[in-house]
């Protein structure tokens, strides 16, 4: 008799990522030898800088291969404290920092540490794909705050105020944003921080793209613009994006003692310390020469200028100018209802499917981020590939019939 594997409700209710369908299809086509232009990458295409690799090699050779303190090694915590001071003017103690296995685990731990079943967490839309799932895995309820491309995806304070109630535990901010590349301005950060203090909720600020900015300004978050709000702010960050270190899996949290202590307790009973060698590499990334960052940011800026220009030159597309990260998030809703072959394109998933099948472009449908009007293209790839992708996109869109 077949055993119908009994699984936990939390897994049954966990929605599979809508990006998986496109990703699986792209991989299958690639395996058949089909030339796919991949504009779906969520990571820098650059290699990790050499001096960072050297620090890891040295750590291995010196036998730095044992358990470390759960919250991270002192050397890395010191480098994180120095970064928080250098970029945000914020002072933390080592106890107010937790090093985790990627920025994602930091977010997971902090939500596990603060959210009770039934608690609400406000998530501005478009959102990073994992926020709703991480909240739901803690029994929390994601409450969505819509935004518009016409205001560069700004937070509408009136709408936010209408969503906050006694169950509101936190809001998650992500600036620069994945998927939009939008950056919240100082006034918005201050307004949200003031409101969090007034109403007594937390701000989780996902600052993973903080140094990938094109507006000439340095990193900012709600605690740096309103130091009185510091006890309400939990910073989530990491080395993955800034230093092209996604595979090394080092992220961190900084925030008030009780929250960090609780998040550390969660980590102590699940994964313990982050990889010892990668911690040494991350310390070298944060405290070593920073010109590698400037070079990568400049390359991203040039690609952004190119891709935004190409997209806005296409009939029916409108693409806001991103101020950070390495994604563009154009509105393709003008093509909704158009037809190709026998098929009608009604959703962003239909569009992503069409682009994959017709133009062999892999991209992520906006619905993955909560807004069906858009498509996310990553420009963290070779400029020649971006150019080829834009040529193919232009051709494919011309073939659509209204």
Ligand X SMILES: *Cc1c(COP(=O)(O)O)cnc(C)c1O
Binding site for ligand X (CB under 6 A): 42, 102-104, 128, 174, 178, 206, 208, 238, 240-241, 246, 251
Burial class of residue 204 (count of CB atoms within 10 Å of its CB; 0-12, 13-18, 19+): buried
Select 278 or 345, whichever has its Cβ closest to ligand X: 278
Select 173 or 196, whichever has its Cβ closest to ligand X: 173
98 touches 256 (CB < 8 A): no
196 touches 230 (CB < 8 A): no
User: Shortest distance, CB of residue 25 to ligand X, whole angstroms?
Assistant: 22
Half-sphere exposure of 316 (CA within 13 A, CB side): 19
Q: What angle do CA 193, 102, 88 make, to 5 degrees?
A: 35
The DSSP code for 331 is B
Residue 334 — φ and ψ, nearest 5°?
Answer: -60, -20
Select 41 or 157, whichever has its Cβ closest to ligand X: 41
326 touches 380 (CB < 8 A): yes
Select 317 or 362, whichever has its Cβ closest to ligand X: 362
Select 202 or 354, whichever has its Cβ closest to ligand X: 202
The C-alpha atoms of residue 241 and residue 42 are separated, in whole angstroms, by 9
Select 128 or 300, whichever has its Cβ closest to ligand X: 128
Q: Which helix (H) or strand (E) holds 124?
A: strand 120-124
User: Shortest distance, CB of residue 255 to ligand X, whole angstroms?
Assistant: 16
User: Shortest distance, CB of residue 37 to ligand X, whole angstroms?
Assistant: 21
Closest-approach residue to ligand X (CB): 102
User: Shortest distance, CB of residue 289 to ligand X, whole angstroms?
Assistant: 22
User: Shortest distance, CB of residue 106 to ligand X, whole angstroms?
Assistant: 8
387 touches 304 (CB < 8 A): no
Long-range (24+ apart) CB contacts under 8 A made by 311-319 are: 311/377, 311/390, 311/393, 314/393, 314/394, 314/397, 315/397, 316/397, 317/397, 318/149
User: Shortest distance, CB of residue 174 to ligand X, whole angstroms?
Assistant: 5
User: Shortest distance, CB of residue 101 to ligand X, whole angstroms?
Assistant: 8
Select 141 or 364, whichever has its Cβ closest to ligand X: 364
């Amino acid at each position: 008799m077949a055993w119908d594997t009994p699984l936990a409700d939390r897994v049954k209710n966990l929605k599979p990522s809508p990006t998986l369908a496109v990703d699986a299809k792209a991989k299958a086509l690639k395996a058949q030898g089909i030339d796919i232009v991949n504009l779906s990458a969520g990571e820098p295409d650059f290699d990790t800088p050499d001096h960072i690799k050297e620090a890891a090699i040295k750590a291995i050779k010196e036998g730095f291969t044992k358990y470390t303190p759960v919250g991270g090694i002192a050397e890395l915590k010191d480098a994180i404290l120095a970064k928080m001071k250098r970029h945000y003017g914020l002072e933390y103690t080592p106890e107010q920092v937790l090093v985790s296995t990627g920025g994602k685990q930091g977010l997971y731990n902090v939500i596990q540490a603060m959210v009770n079943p039934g608690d609400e967490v406000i998530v501005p839309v478009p959102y990073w794909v994992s926020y709703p799932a991480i909240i739901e895995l803690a029994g929390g309820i994601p409450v969505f705050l819509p935004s518009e491309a016409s205001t560069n995806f700004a937070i509408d304070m009136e709408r936010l105020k209408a969503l906050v109630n006694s169950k509101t535990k936190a809001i998650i901010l992500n600036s620069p944003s994945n998927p939009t590349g939008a950056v919240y301005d100082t006034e918005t950060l201050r307004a949200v921080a003031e409101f969090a203090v007034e109403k007594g909720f937390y701000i989780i600020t996902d600052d993973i793209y903080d140094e990938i900015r094109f507006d000439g300004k340095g990193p900012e978050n709600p605690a740096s613009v309103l130091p009185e709000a510091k006890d309400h702010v939990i910073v989530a960050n990491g080395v993955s994006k800034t230093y092209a270190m996604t595979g090394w899996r080092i992220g961190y949290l900084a925030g008030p003692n009780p929250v960090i202590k609780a998040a550390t307790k969660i980590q102590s009973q699940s994964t313990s310390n982050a990889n010892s060698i990668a911690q040494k590499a991350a310390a070298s990334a944060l405290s070593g020469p920073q010109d590698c960052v400037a070079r990568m940011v400049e390359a991203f800026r040039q690609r952004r200028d190119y891709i935004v220009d190409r997209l806005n030159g296409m009939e029916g597309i409108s693409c806001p100018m991103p101020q950070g990260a390495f994604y563009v998030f154009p509105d393709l809703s003008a093509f909704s209802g158009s037809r190709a072959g026998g098929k009608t394109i009604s959703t962003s998933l239909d569009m992503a499917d069409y682009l994959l099948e017709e133009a062999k472009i892999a991209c992520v449908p906006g619905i993955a981020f909560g807004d069906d009007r858009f498509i996310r293209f990553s420009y963290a790839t070779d400029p020649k590939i971006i150019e080829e992708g834009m040529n193919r996109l232009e051709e494919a869109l011309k073939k659509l019939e209204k």
